[in-house]
Amino acid sequence: MKSLKGKRVLVYGMGTSGQSACKLLHSKGACVSFYDDEERFASLFCYDKSPSADGYDLVVVSPGVKVLGNELLSRFLMSKVPVISELDLGYNFCKGKIVAITGTNGKTTVTSLVGKCVKESGRQTFVCGNIGLPFSSVCEQGDKDSVYVVEVSNFQLELSSHFRGDIACVLNLAPDHIDRHGNFEEYVRVKSKILAEKGRQKVVLNFDDKLTRGLKISKKVQFFSKNPLNKGVSVKNNWICINNTKVISCNDISLFGSKNLENVLASVAICSKLRIKPKTLKNSIATFKAPPHRLEYLGSIAGAEVFDDSKATNISSVEMAVEALGNDRLVLLMGGQNKNCDFDEFFEKGYSFEKLYCFGEAGEYLYETAQKFGYAPQLFKTMKSCVSFVRQHLEEGQIILLSPGCASFDEFGSYAIRGQVFKELMFESYEKIENK
- Residue pair 359/386 in contact (Cβ under 8 Å)? The answer is yes
Whether pLDDT at 433 is above 80? no
Long-range contacts of 253-256 (CB under 8 A, 24+ apart): 253/285, 253/286, 254/286, 254/287, 254/288, 254/289, 255/109, 255/288, 255/290, 256/290, 256/295, 256/297, 256/324
pLDDT digits (tens, 9 = 90+) for 59-106: 999 999 989 889 999 999 999 899 999 999 999 999 999 999 999 999
Strand order in the sheet with 239-242: 125-129, 147-151, 97-102, 167-170, 202-206, 221-225, 233-236, 239-242, 245-249
Percent of the chain with pLDDT over 90: 85
Summary mean pLDDT of the chain: 93
Cβ 175 vs Cβ 314: under 8 Å:
yes
Looking at the structure, tell me whether residues 95 and 226 fall in a common domain.
yes
Do residues 62 and 204 share a domain? no
Residues 182 and 247 in one domain: yes
Q: Does the residue 2 lie in any domain? A: no
In a domain, 364, yes or no: yes
Query: pLDDT tens digit string along 106-159?
Result: 999 999 999 999 999 999 999 999 999 999 999 999 999 999 999 999 999 999
Same domain, 262 and 156: yes
Do 434 and 388 meet the contact criterion of CB atoms below 8 Å apart?
Answer: no
- Look at residues 409, 281, 430 and name the one whose alpha carbon lies nearest to residue 338: 409
Answer with the one of 253, 286, 319 that is the final residue of a domain: 286
Q: Is 126 in the same domain as 249?
A: yes
DSSP alpha helix (H) spans, 356-414: 363-372, 383-392
The pLDDT value recorded for residue 328 is: 86
Q: Which residues pair with 352 in a beta bridge?
A: none
Residue 3 is assigned to a structural domain of this protein: no
CATH number for the domain harbouring residue 60: 3.40.50.720
Q: Could you give the residue ranges of the DSSP H alpha helices within 14-165?
A: 16-27, 71-78, 86-91, 107-120, 135-138, 154-157
Higher pLDDT, 329 or 430: 329
Q: How confident is the model at residue 430 (pLDDT cuts 50, 70, 90)?
A: very low
The answer to whether residue 189 is domain-embedded is yes
pLDDT score of 37: 92
CB 148 within 8 A of CB 97: yes
204 and 148 within one domain: yes
Segments in 51-144 forming alpha helices (H): 71-78, 86-91, 107-120, 135-138
CATH, residue 155: 3.40.1190.10
- Mark whether 136 and 261 lie in a shared domain: yes
pLDDT of residue 218: 65
How much is the pLDDT for 81? 94
Residue 281 has pLDDT above 60, yes or no: yes
Residue 291 included in any domain? no
247 and 381 co-located in one domain: no
Res. 361 pLDDT band, cuts 50 70 90: very high
CA distances from 345 to 97, 189, 312, 366 (A): 40, 22, 16, 12
Instruction: Say which range, 2-16, 95-109, 348-362, 419-433, has the weakest mean pLDDT.
Output: 419-433
Sign of the CA dihedral running 231, 235, 237, 239: positive
**Domain end point (choices 286, 312, 332):** 286
Domain boundary among 49, 81, 113: 81
Residue 176 has pLDDT above 90, yes or no: no
pLDDT at 258: 87
| Pair 173, 212: CB distance under 8 Å | yes
Percent residues over pLDDT 70 in the chain: 98
The full DSSP string for 199-266 is SS-EEEEETT-HHHHT---SS-EEEEESS--SSSEEEETTEEEETTEEEEEGGG--S-HHHHHHHHHH
Number of domains in the chain: 3
Residue 213: inside a domain, yes or no? yes
Taking only the tens place, the pLDDT of each residue in 303-353 is 999 999 999 999 999 999 999 998 889 999 999 999 999 999 999 999 999
Would 147 be classed as within a structural domain?
yes
What's the CATH number where 328 sits? 3.90.190.20
Whether residue 8 is predicted with pLDDT greater than 90 in this model: the reply is: yes
Do 183 and 265 reside in the same domain of the chain?
A: yes
In a domain, 309, yes or no: yes
Residue 287 DSSP one-character state: T
Query: Alpha-carbon dihedral of residues 49, 55, 60, 65, nearest 10 degrees?
Result: 40
341 and 368: one domain? yes
More confident residue, 271 or 185: 271
pLDDT of residue 436: 32
Q: Looking at the structure, tell me whether residues 46 and 112 fall in a common domain.
A: no
| CA gap 287, 211 in Å, rounded | 32
Range of the domain at 41: 8-81
Give the C-alpha separation, 296 to 257, whole Å: 11
The pTM of the full predicted model, rounded to 2 decimals, is 0.89
- Both 54 and 165 in one domain: the answer is no
